[in-house]
Amino acid sequence: AQSVTQLDSQVPVFEEAPVELRCNYSSSVSVYLFWYVQYPNQGLQLLLKYLSGSTLVKGINGFEAEFNKSQTSFHLRKPSVHISDTAEYFCAVSSQGGSEKLVFGKGTKLTVNP
């Protein structure tokens, strides 16, 4: 079974500052990793995913994440945030070769202040 830990439930930052949202996972098998964003009262939108290959993954809206197998982490970063990045961010994993079920972390609320 897999589990996902998002270490920060809330992250407040100022506009144009860099941000890192942390995600660690636990799994006995190899995994695929995802970051999703959720705006209020909406469904989830995929930001980026790691399936294989380069451990640095670039996604939409200027976000990127780095897969670190030894530290079982998949932290999300953006060098300069905008007010519009204010949202809930979820890290998720699914097992390679298994079902397509996703296990989500509890989410990190990113608030970008002017």
Partner 1 sequence: GAVVSQHPSRVICKSGTSVKIECRSLDFQATTMFWYRQFPKQSLMLMATSNEGSKATYEQGVEKDKFLINHASLTLSTLTVTSAHPEDSSFYICSATQGDRGSLYEQYFGPGTRLTVT
Residues interacting with partner 1, by CB under 8 A? 32, 34, 36, 41-46, 49, 51, 90, 94, 99-107
Taking the complex as a whole, how short is the minimal distance between the CB of residue 79 and partner 1, in angstroms? 25
DSSP, residue by residue, 46-114: EEEEE-SS-SEEE-GGG-EEEEETTTTEEEEEESS--GGG-EEEEEEEEETTS----EE---EEEEEE-
Kindly tell me which of 49 and 77 has the beta carbon lying closer to partner 1: 49
Kindly tell me which of 2 and 15 has the beta carbon lying closer to partner 1: 2
Kindly tell me which of 28 and 99 has the beta carbon lying closer to partner 1: 99
